[in-house]
Amino acid sequence: MRERGTMSASVAELIAERIETMPTGERRAAQALVANYPLVGLKTVAEFSQAAGVSSPTILRFVARLGFQNYPDFQSALQDELAAQLQSPASRTHNPPSPAGGPVPAMLEATMENLRETFRYISERQFTEIVDKLADRRGHMLLMGGRFTDPLARYMTAHLTIVRPNVFHLAGQESMWRDRLIDMGKRDVLLIFDIRRYQESLLRFAEKAHERGVQIVLFTDQWLSPIARFARHVIAGRTAVPSAWDSSTALFAVAETLIGAVTSRLETESAERIREMENLR
């Protein structure tokens, strides 16, 4: 019942797919789980219900809506995800896959599947809300990423800087990031790229930004960075491929799709801005 594509859907993906149709109580259970993923779901039904502020029967209905036969099956899926979340490149190299047909076809098929599954779980409503926020020129937009995902933040910054003002990439040492917090507030948006193994410095910064009312858009993997608890929007991309390394291709595609949508939304303003930039060259 949970199978989608060639890889079982994660609990986070199932939530993203079904949360808009959930009753209020089940939605609160979903939000509580995403805010402390996956640990809240590994507690007892009573503890989960207390954390979510709903009844135990509501938790069981929530689990059933996600397609699980019972609570132990739900917890077993989360335990598998937690094990995957904690994997390092070294542990994935220890037992390398043996793809049929060689590494190139296997990588290509896995990458295509990642793209299909990533976009399957991004709702039109969520995408529109993110574009609305990124196109709002009244605030500042700041972008940052982790050790392997910061190039995605830089790439997105380079494009969005052309189509709207006040777009900044946060680079350098963590102390320099914190210095920017003094100028950040409720009208600003912070885009963060963070995939396993999640970066503690990004989590600390996200928490501080959240305390100042900054709206956070998180780009992460299907197992969810802890930053999800502070994010207004979470894009969970598929990253697993037959390699010791995770792939950022799906998140790159999401970033390019957002860049295109924001450019279209600001068509008049961006065209004028581009012409002026060309005149300054």
Averaged pLDDT of the chain: 90
Is residue 26 a contact partner of residue 58, using CB atoms and an 8 Å limit? yes
Share in percent of the chain as helix, strand, coil (round to 5): 60, 10, 30
> The domain 3-85: what is its CATH number?
1.10.10.10
Q: In what order do the strands lie in the sheet with 215-221?
A: 167-169, 141-145, 189-193, 215-221, 233-237
Specify the pLDDT at position 204: 95
Please tell me the CATH superfamily of domain 120-280, with its number: Glucose-6-phosphate isomerase like protein; domain 1 (3.40.50.10490)
Distance from C-alpha of 131 to C-alpha of 160, rounded to nearest angstrom: 12
Residue 1 confidence class, pLDDT cut points 50, 70, 90:
very low
Question: Confidence class of residue 3 from pLDDT cuts 50, 70 and 90?
Answer: very low
Please give the pLDDT value at position 7.
58
How large is the average pLDDT for residues 172-177?
Answer: 82
pLDDT of residue 9: 87
**Is residue 95 scored above 50 in pLDDT?**
no
272 pLDDT tier (thresholds 50, 70, 90): confident
> What is the model's pTM?
0.84
- Structural domain boundaries in the chain: 3-85, 120-280
The secondary structure of residue 112, as a DSSP letter, is H
The closest of 190, 188, 193, 256 to 219, measured between CA atoms, is 193
171 and 180 in contact (C-beta within 8 Å)?
Answer: no
Task: Determine the average pLDDT of the residues in 238-244.
Answer: 90
Query: Phi, psi (5° rounding) for residue 199?
Result: -95, 120
Q: Name the token pair of 129.
A: 């809300």
* Dist CA 66 CA 18 (whole Å): 8
Question: How would residue 104 be classed by pLDDT, with cut points 50, 70 and 90?
Answer: confident
- Per-residue pLDDT tens for 119-170? 999 999 999 999 999 999 999 999 999 999 999 999 999 999 999 999 999 9
